[in-house]
């Protein structure tokens, strides 16, 4: 099938490359000419494991191409995906749909034969109706359907998530569109479940899923705080509840609070939509507020471990991105922790395997160094914020020898407390009392 994808970010580029790999012919367009030029030169504008090889392979096979001309891509396509950003609107937290609506208007001007227009961007319930209204008002006799097909991929595991998803959700009331979408995803059908719903339900599935996952994280973080006060272990508690199949073991890792490009903004958007619809989501509101407070409080534990002040001290930070295997810094807990440490007078030195370019633009005032051992050089304390695999097998004695202090705050419980203690660290994890 001929597919057009608008937006070559984490979702658009991965989806485009994967659809091409499934045998479709895909044209990806973006209004950012630099991104397109980079892609045409074989450079990835984002970091996602194995994406470069997949793009190279599908481009070489003649099934994936890039451009800036939306109209040209749309004219050829049977299926047109809108995969542009839907950030939080400044001021009120509603999803900013300006890019989505701009795409709808541009698509309307370019439609030729029948086409299915699919919102893959995460959008509030009812957005599909609005997109359809824009298209219909500009093309009253146009032949098209508007479908919701939310994306559930996770950065860092995006290709596998796209190819073997837990489910594919397709929201449409239009029979012809349903047949087209079914044909598009048929190559994945053997390994997953394709769920057809109404368009509005599909839009809500995405927000409800993210809110539920955020709830799990918020819950286990709250239990971690309780464990610290009760002298219990969050590992045991999480393991103990996770064995109950109604709860499940995944997404029960305590940490510094969730960040990323999706959870914070999607939860805010859900809260706003629900308020507008007169069905406020009190539980979700609490999860969002508790998470923001948590992220702000997280620097405090390092300051306390340093004796109540970090003024004039050097803090080394291991990991900056909101999770491993991505370069995405959006809403990363590292931003709040580092900002608070700087406000308290610390000097900060940091290393991240992939996130330093994005981090530099957001935090130019800290020092970036080429590896974990350089982070430790002369540091009074270390903060491990992102659980990159590379930090799992650090040479702890070597790290400790380079430092002038001994504090290690492990916000991800990545380092075994006994190994840290043996290397001479005063180690503090999340959800367990530190060793005396
Ligand atoms: P992104 O910011 O990485 O990329 C968006 C791209 O769209 C950019 O390259 C931008 O230049 C382009 N764009 C914006 N307006 C455009 C226009 N009018 N015409 C052409 N191109 C335009 O965003 P992302 O992380 O890929 O997210 C895209 C959507 O998918 C969002 O709604 C997001 O919530 C959702 N989503 C993201 C993830 C994720 O893990 N990143 C997962 C699931 C869903």
The pLDDT tens digits for 360-409 are 999 999 999 999 999 999 999 999 999 999 999 999 999 999 999 999 99
Average the pLDDT over 24-32 and give the result.
Answer: 98
- Does 217 contact ligand 1 (Cβ within 6 A)? no
- Asked whether the ipTM of the predicted complex exceeds the cut of 0.85, the reply is yes
The answer to whether 354 and 380 have CB atoms below 8 angstroms apart is no
- Whether the model clears a pTM of 0.90, i.e. scores above it, the answer is yes
CA atoms within 13 Å, Cβ hemisphere of 134: 19
- Does 325 contact ligand 1 (Cβ within 6 A)? no
Ligand 1 centre to CA of 123 (Å) is: 11
- For residue 404, the tally of other CB atoms under 10 A from its CB is 12
pLDDT of residue 433: 77
Q: Which class for 189: exposed (0-12), middle (13-18), buried (19 or more C-beta within 10 A)?
A: exposed
Average the pLDDT over 10-22 and give the result.
Answer: 98
Q: Which atom of ligand 1 is nearest to the CA of 106?
A: 18
The pLDDT tens digits for 116-134 are 999 999 999 999 999 999 9
Ligand 1 centre to CA of 161 (Å) is: 17
- The annotation status of 323 as a binding-site residue, yes or no, is yes
- The annotation status of 93 as a binding-site residue, yes or no, is no
- Of 85-94, 203-212, 347-356, the poorest mean pLDDT is in 85-94
- For residue 409, the tally of other CB atoms under 10 A from its CB is 27
pLDDT of residue 421: 96
Highest CATH level, class, for 199-436 = alpha beta
- Does 298 contact ligand 1 (Cβ within 6 A)? no
Residue 86's closest CA among 77, 94, 74, 96? Answer: 96
pLDDT of residue 90: 86
Question: Does residue 23 register a pLDDT over 80?
Answer: yes
pLDDT of residue 389: 97
Give start-end residues of each CATH 3.40.50.720 domain in the chain.
2-197, 199-436
- The annotation status of 122 as a binding-site residue, yes or no, is yes
Residues above pLDDT 90, as percent of the chain: 98
Question: Does residue 435 register a pLDDT over 70?
Answer: no
Q: Burial code of 36-57, b = ≥16 C-beta within 10 A, e = fewer?
A: bebbeeeebbbbbeebeebbee
The pLDDT tens digits for 45-66 are 999 999 999 999 999 999 999 9
**Per-chain mean pLDDT for the chain:** 97
Go through the chain and tell me how many residues it has.
Answer: 436
CA 267 to chain centre: 13
Average the pLDDT over 305-323 and give the result.
Answer: 98
Query: Ligand 1: which residue has its CA nearest to atom 38?
Result: 11
Ligand 1 centre to CA of 57 (Å) is: 23
321 vs 219: CA distance, rounded Å: 22
- For residue 360, the tally of other CB atoms under 10 A from its CB is 14
- Of 120-124, 306-310, 377-381, 432-436, the poorest mean pLDDT is in 432-436
Highest CATH level, class, for 2-197 = alpha beta
Question: Does residue 91 register a pLDDT over 90?
Answer: no
Residue appearing with tokens 């705050």: 409
The pLDDT tens digits for 229-239 are 999 999 999 99
């Amino acid at each position: 099938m001929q597919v057009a994808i608008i937006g070559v970010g984490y979702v658009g580029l991965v989806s485009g490359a994967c659809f091409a790999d499934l045998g479709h012919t895909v044209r990806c367009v973006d209004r950012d000419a630099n991104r397109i030029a980079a892609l045409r030169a074989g450079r990835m504008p984002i970091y996602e494991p194995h994406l470069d090889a997949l793009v190279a392979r599908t481009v070489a096979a003649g099934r994936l191409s890039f451009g800036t001309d939306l109209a040209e891509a749309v004219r050829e396509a049977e299926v047109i995906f809108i995969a542009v950003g839907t950030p939080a609107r400044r001021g009120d937290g509603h999803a900013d749909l300006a890019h989505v609506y701009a795409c709808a208007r541009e698509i309307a001007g370019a439609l030729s034969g029948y086409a299915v227009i699919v919102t893959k961007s995460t959008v509030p319930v009812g957005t599909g109706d609005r997109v359809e209204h824009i298209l219909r008002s500009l093309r009253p006799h146009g032949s098209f359907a508007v479908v919701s097909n939310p994306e559930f991929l996770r950065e860092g595991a995006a290709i596998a998530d796209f190819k073997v998803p837990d489910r594919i959700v397709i929201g449409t009331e239009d029979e012809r569109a349903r047949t087209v979408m079914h044909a598009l995803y048929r190559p994945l059908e053997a390994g997953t479940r394709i769920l057809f719903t109404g368009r509005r339900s599909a839009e809500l599935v995405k927000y409800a899923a993210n809110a539920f996952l955020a709830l799990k994280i918020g819950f286990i973080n709250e239990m971690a705080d309780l464990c610290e006060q009760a002298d219990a272990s969050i590992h045991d508690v999480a393991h103990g509840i996770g064995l109950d199949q109604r709860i499940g073991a995944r997404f029960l890792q305590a940490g510094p609070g969730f960040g990323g490009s999706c959870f914070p903004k999607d939860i805010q958007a859900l809260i706003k939509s629900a308020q507008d619809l007169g069905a406020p989501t009190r539980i979700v509101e609490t999860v969002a507020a508790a998470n923001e407070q948590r992220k702000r409080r997280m620097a405090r534990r390092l300051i306390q471990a340093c004796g109540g002040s970090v003024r004039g001290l050097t803090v080394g930070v291991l990991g900056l991105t909101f999770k491993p295997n991505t370069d995405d810094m959006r809403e990363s807990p590292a931003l709040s922790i580092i900002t608070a440490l700087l406000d308290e007078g610390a000097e900060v030195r940091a290393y991240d395997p992939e996130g330093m370019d994005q981090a530099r633009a957001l935090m130019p005032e800290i020092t970036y160094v080429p590896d974990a051992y350089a982070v430790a050089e002369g540091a009074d304390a270390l903060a491990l914020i992102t659980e990159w695999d590379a930090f799992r097998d650090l040479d702890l004695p070597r790290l400790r020898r380079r430092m002038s202090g001994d504090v290690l705050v492990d916000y991800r419980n990545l380092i075994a407390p006994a190994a840290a203690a043996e290397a001479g660290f005063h180690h503090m994890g999340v959800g367990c009392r530190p060793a005396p």
